């Protein structure tokens, strides 16, 4: 188990390094001179040269990357070329918003999705399955942004039950924080739950048809034990993958939801940086996204090995 963890950690770091390098070089390869973008009005050769020197743009790409990587390792991601604010400070305010939104949404989606998926598989061909399938279809086909707008219209604007936009940090005021985040979480979570529900349903159906589930029934176990202990646990392996993928996508991709509900999160920060060609921020955003994906992948692998002992032993032997 320890050997397995070590291998995975090492692989993760390598992947992170490669991902960062590719993006760093990719940005440098884009047409257009960043110095020009930074210079604003004064485009005299002297001014451009000064800017190049200040940002290290006169060095080779590899030196630039080395410096960026070394600074990043020390926790310095530079400053925004637009606002002059330290990028780490920007992340410090934006990330908690998105992480809270993503974690709560994925939690809701998992509970709803695994529950409804299990019911749909067990009650196959009965009303409960049709209901679950119908809801999943709606969840998959109705766009989040539209649902979000409808929710704002009816639950915020006309009734005032929930704030229509804005965010309050949890530590400042937990109640207000939850009050602000409830609507976005529900909108995002129910949408995601449809995917999880369908995956759970199909892997549950597979599991229910296996020989070991037949054995479990033949032992005289109650349906609850047959389903929960024997079938569900095996089908979770696939579900964990889906949840992991979605969580990764949420960290970078809650953009639309954040925009609609006016949440000052990571998605909004990304959009702004891209529109304003704020290179240090874009680089940081990519670095954080890659780290999130890799970290989540690592967690997913850990969960696999907790659920499935065959993976555990295979890794230890390697």
* Minimum distance, C-beta of residue 6 to another protein, in the bound complex (Å): 22
Q: What is the DSSP string of 21-41?
A: HHHHHHHHHSSS-HHHHHHTT
Binding test (CB under 8 A) with another protein, winner from 212, 228, 274, 299: 212
Helix (H, G, I), strand (E, B) or coil at 6: helix
State yes or no: residue 211 binds another protein (CB under 8 A).
Answer: yes
| Of residues 72 and 232, the one with the C-beta less far from another protein | 232
Q: Which of 82, 77, 106, 103 shows the shortest CA–CA distance to 92?
A: 77
Binding test (CB under 8 A) with another protein, winner from 70, 214, 228, 299: 214
* Minimum distance, C-beta of residue 313 to another protein, in the bound complex (Å): 7
- 117-176 positions binding another protein, by CB under 8 A: none
| Of residues 74 and 310, the one with the C-beta less far from another protein | 310
Q: Which of 63, 24, 25, 71 shows the shortest CA–CA distance to 53?
A: 63
d(C-alpha 60, C-alpha 313), whole Å: 46
Binding test (CB under 8 A) with another protein, winner from 230, 250, 287, 294: 230
State yes or no: residue 317 binds another protein (CB under 8 A).
Answer: no
Choices 35-43, 111-119, 188-196, 212-220; region in contact with another protein by CB under 8 A: 212-220
* Minimum distance, C-beta of residue 244 to another protein, in the bound complex (Å): 19
State yes or no: residue 217 binds another protein (CB under 8 A).
Answer: yes
State yes or no: residue 215 binds another protein (CB under 8 A).
Answer: yes
Site string for another protein, 272-311 (x = CB under 8 A): -----------------------------------xxxx-
Binding test (CB under 8 A) with another protein, winner from 225, 238, 302, 303: 225
Please list, in sequence order, all residues whose beta carbon lies within 8 angstroms of the beta carbon of residue 66, skipping any fewer than 6 positions away: none
Rg (CA), the chain: 24
Residue 267: CB atoms within 10 A of its CB come to: 25
* Inter-residue contact 79 to 280 (CB < 8 Å): yes
| Of residues 127 and 220, the one with the C-beta less far from another protein | 220
d(C-alpha 105, C-alpha 186), whole Å: 7
| Of residues 19 and 311, the one with the C-beta less far from another protein | 311
9 vs 71, 297, 312, CA distance in Å?
Answer: 22, 11, 15
**How many CA atoms within 13 Å lie on the side-chain side of 285?**
25
State yes or no: residue 316 binds another protein (CB under 8 A).
Answer: no
The count of residues interacting with another protein (CB under 8 A) is 22
- 191-210 positions binding another protein, by CB under 8 A: 210
d(C-alpha 151, C-alpha 164), whole Å: 9
**Residue numbers of the site for another protein (CB under 8 A)?**
210-212, 214-222, 225, 229-230, 233-234, 307-310, 313
């Amino acid at each position: 188990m320890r050997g397995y963890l070590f291998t995975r950690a090492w692989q993760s770091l390598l992947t992170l390094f490669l991902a960062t390098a590719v993006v760093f070089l990719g940005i440098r390869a884009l047409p257009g001179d960043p110095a020009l973008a930074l210079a604003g009005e004064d485009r005299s050769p002297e001014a451009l040269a000064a800017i190049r020197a200040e940002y290290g743009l006169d060095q080779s790409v590899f030196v630039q990357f080395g410096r960026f990587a070394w600074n990043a390792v020390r926790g310095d991601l530079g400053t925004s070329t637009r606002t002059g604010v330290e990028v780490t400070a920007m992340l410090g305010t934006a990330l908690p918003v998105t992480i809270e939104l993503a974690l709560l949404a994925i939690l809701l989606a998992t509970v709803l999705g695994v529950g409804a998926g299990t019911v749909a598989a067990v009650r196959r061909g009965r009303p409960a399955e049709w209901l679950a399938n119908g809801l999943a279809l709606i969840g998959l086909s109705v766009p989040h942004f539209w649902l979000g707008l409808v929710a704002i219209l009816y639950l915020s604007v006309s009734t005032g039950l929930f704030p229509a936009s804005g965010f309050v940090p949890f530590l400042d005021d937990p109640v207000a924080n939850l009050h602000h985040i409830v609507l976005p979480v529900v909108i995002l979570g129910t949408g995601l739950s449809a995917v999880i529900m369908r995956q759970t349903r199909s892997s549950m159906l597979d599991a229910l048809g296996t020989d070991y589930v037949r054995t479990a029934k033949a032992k005289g176990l109650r349906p609850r034990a047959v389903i929960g202990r024997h079938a569900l646990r095996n089908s979770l392996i696939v579900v964990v993958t889906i949840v992991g993928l979605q969580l990764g996508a949420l960290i970078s991709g809650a953009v639309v939801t954040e925009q609609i509900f006016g949440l000052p999160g990571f998605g909004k920060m990304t959009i702004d940086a891209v529109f304003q060609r704020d290179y240090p921020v874009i680089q940081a955003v990519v670095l954080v996204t890659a780290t999130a994906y890799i970290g989540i992948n690592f967690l997913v692998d850990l969960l696999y090995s907790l659920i499935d002992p065959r993976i555990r032993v295979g890794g230890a032997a390697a």
